[in-house]
């Protein structure tokens, strides 16, 4: 992986993509060698803590994570194509999400190619997942059409989808943790 440099644009997206990537990071890397992916896992936890947790909309995505991660783990272990494509997406998103949490989200741009790949993956999950997962994917796609994000920077998409984080309060926040 190449680090993201100022002035360089790369494909990116957020919202449902970030949530699925976080969900899949947990499920896929449970079976992988964790030390090989420590940096990737750190990136996704930073997205959780710095992008999602500080906003109400972000906490809604965290709730989606906890609700569907057990099913996605099963799907990943049952269907090799779910596991492999999920891993590819996670690794593709890692430098982009890292740019966002490192304050360089205005340097990465959402492309049609990445949206196409993400939508194909969501189609796959809809084919093999439960009716509840399928309905959730359809609902999130209707709520946030990914095609509308093409051409936006990661920072612009963050603002549109989860808003700007507020000063972090050390008191517990409302998420549905298991």
Q: 146-162: per-residue pLDDT in tens?
A: 999 999 999 999 998 89
Compare 3 and 158 and report the one with higher pLDDT: 158
Contacts of 112 by beta carbon, 8 Å cutoff, 6+ apart: 150
Task: In whole angstroms, give the CA distance from residue 44 to residue 101.
Answer: 10
Q: What is the mean pLDDT of the chain?
A: 79
pLDDT for 66: 86
Assess contact for 32 and 88: CB atoms under 8 A. no
Model pTM greater than 0.85? no
The string of pLDDT tens digits covering residues 9-22 is: 333 334 455 555 55
Q: Is residue 101 very low, low, confident or very high in pLDDT (cuts 50, 70, 90)?
A: very high
Out of 1-5, 31-35, 46-50, 105-109, which region has the weakest mean confidence (pLDDT)?
Answer: 1-5
Q: Give 74-77's long-range contacts (Cβ < 8 A, gap of 24+).
A: 75/125, 75/128, 75/129, 76/24, 76/27, 76/28, 76/31, 77/31
Assess contact for 48 and 161: CB atoms under 8 A. no
């Amino acid at each position: 992986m190449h680090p993201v440099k100022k002035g360089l644009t790369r494909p990116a997206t957020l919202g449902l993509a970030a949530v699925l990537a976080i969900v899949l990071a947990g499920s896929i890397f449970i079976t992988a060698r964790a030390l090989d992916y420590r940096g990737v896992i750190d990136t996704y936890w930073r997205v959780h803590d710095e992008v999602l947790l500080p906003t109400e909309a972000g906490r809604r995505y965290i709730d989606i994570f906890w609700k569907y991660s057990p099913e996605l783990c099963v799907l990943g272990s049952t269907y090799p194509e779910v596991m492999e494509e999920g891993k590819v997406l996670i690794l593709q998103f890692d430098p982009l999400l890292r740019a966002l949490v490192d304050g360089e989200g205005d340097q990465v741009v959402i492309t049609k190619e990445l949206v196409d790949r993400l939508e194909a993956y969501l189609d796959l999950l809809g084919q093999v997942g439960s009716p509840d997962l399928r309905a959730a994917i359809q609902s999130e796609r209707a709520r946030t059409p990914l095609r509308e994000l093409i051409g936006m920077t990661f920072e612009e998409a963050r603002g549109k989808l989860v808003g700007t984080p507020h000063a972090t309060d050390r008191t517990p926040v409302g998420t549905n943790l298991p």
